[in-house]
Amino acid sequence: MEKQKDSYDHILKYTGLFGGVQGLNILIGVVRSKFVALILGPEGMGLVSLFNSTITLLSNTTDFGIPMSAVRSLSEAYESGDKKRIEHTVLLIRFRSFLAAFLGLVLCAALSPLLSRWTFDWGNHTLHFLFLSPVIALAAITGGETAVLKGVRQLRRLAVISLYGMLGSLLSSVPLYYVWGQAAIIPSLFIVGLIQCVLTVGYSYKLYPLRLRQIGRGDEKGIETACGTEQGYGKAMVRSLWHEGGGMIRLGVAFVLAGIMASGADFVIRGYLNHTGDLAVVGLYNAGYVMTVTYAGLVFSAMETDYFPRLSGISHLGSELNLTVNRQIEVCLLIVSPLLVLFILVLPVLMPLLFSGKFLPVVDMMRITTVAMYFRAVSMPVEYIALSRGDSSTYLFQEGAYAVLLIVAVILGYRFFGLTGTGWGLLAVAVVNVVMVLAYTRWRYHYRMSRDVLICLFGQMPLGVAAVLVLLYSASLRAISVGVVLFMISATFSLHQLRAKTALWTKLVGKVEGKIKKYWENNIQTTFPE
């Protein structure tokens, strides 16, 4: 029972940690965006967006999917407890990351004239893309070292690095934009990438220093004995690193292809909305989609950082894997459910605050889409099973099916019900996707949803659905009051379940009591002795 509570405590602790850090990052990002928007204006913000999109596209295309695939390989090594194996895997990740960095840099530099013509229909921006090429390299190195820290469970450090990186972005870019305006866009992007890279590499190399001769010497491949000279050893080492990690690359390629499919689906949807509606419709849909998925899905950020490495460390299918997946779903549902009801309730206030009153027409679409997050809280942890097994074909199948469903559902939703219909389409996709994922993983990996998960899902989801139905058709004080009551019920349910399943509440109370007792003994009793 104590081991069970410890597991729940771990999930809750790190889900809360990374969810909170992600929330702070978003808050800092909002502040930064406000300043940048005021300084640069719409045109400058458009330039920043275009350059960032290029960086993201090239990075995702050339990084071999290492930021995710390497986590699985290193997690397996970490769970084995073999120090030599861990160090050799770290070296392999770094070797692949440097290759990805070189490829990204060269590709961006070589394609800079084409990127200028494809991205802009005015002016020559070849030099700008040429200067962006080091940013691609920095992103690849950062991604590799981040994977190292995830794989060896340096989770607190990752949270700190993320927060410091965002603060560095705010403190460096805003002054540059203020002084030099649009001319500072490229230097700012480089400095932001450099700050993140230095922070990540600094701690990762401190943890695992780069010692080429020590790592791999005398390993199972017999590198050193196979070559009698220093030069021969170096060549053998490079050859070994070049040919190793086939599974990592295959899974990485799957990530790249999945990213392309997701980007393609996004492109098709926005193209259809622009053609059928106008740019305003595209803007409203984009704001609603991003805000719902990003803000309402803060809790999900912990999965990639904590849950995926833990799941990858489980070597066999069976009860341990099922238990890990089910507990992750439980904690996600219990944390996110009250937040989703609150999100549904405050959207009319939140949208003008973060954007403007012009974005209020998208509120109904967002409320409906928020219900999809309940199903996402179930499907996402289950989808990670395939990733943790290195099953690239299953992962691609899942992502491909989701992309097709997304295009069809959103287009049909908009055609029949307008912008609000896109919300119904996104909800329908979430429902169909969770059914498909559960059916497939049960057949292939023998995963079974636990009774506790069903209790959490069907205890919380009706509250969110009720909040949407009440507020969708009425904005009266009575409807808002009902929404507040539903939020309180959801929060009470979650707190009761978390208190029963974890020991964190007991630990928190014990710490508070200990602080009070210590203060009493050191101050009160000393000042007023009996």
Checking phi first, is residue 65 left (phi over 0); if not, alpha (psi -120 to 50) or beta?
left
pLDDT classification of 246: cutoffs 50, 70, 90: low
Backbone angles phi, psi at 209, to 5 degrees: -60, 150
Token duo for residue 350: 């939140």
- Say if residue 198's pLDDT is above 90: yes
pLDDT at 229: 47
pLDDT at 272: 85
Q: Which residue has the tokens 């206030």?
A: 349
**Four-point Cα dihedral 135, 299, 282, 475, nearest 10:** -150
Mean pLDDT score of the chain: 80
What angle (nearest 5°) sits at the alpha carbon of residue 286, between those of residues 352 and 258? 145
Report field, pTM of the whole predicted structure over 0.95: no
Percent of the chain with pLDDT over 70: 77
- Say if residue 252's pLDDT is above 90: no
Percent of the chain with pLDDT over 90: 25
- Say if residue 3's pLDDT is above 80: no
Coil/strand/helix, residue 125: coil
- Say if residue 341's pLDDT is above 90: yes
- Say if residue 456's pLDDT is above 70: yes
pLDDT classification of 367: cutoffs 50, 70, 90: very high
pLDDT at 228: 44
pLDDT at 422: 93
Give me the helices (H) in 63-125, please: 66-80, 83-119
pLDDT classification of 371: cutoffs 50, 70, 90: very high
- Say if residue 182's pLDDT is above 90: no
DSSP state of 124: -
- At 256-275, the pLDDT tens digits run 788 778 777 877 887 788 78
- Say if residue 203's pLDDT is above 50: yes
- At 425-449, the pLDDT tens digits run 999 999 999 999 999 999 988 899 9
Which is nearest to 302 in space by CA: 20, 19, 7? Answer: 19
The answer to whether the CB of 74 falls within 8 A of the CB of 89 is yes
- Say if residue 399's pLDDT is above 70: yes
pLDDT at 298: 66
pLDDT at 369: 92
- Say if residue 217's pLDDT is above 50: no
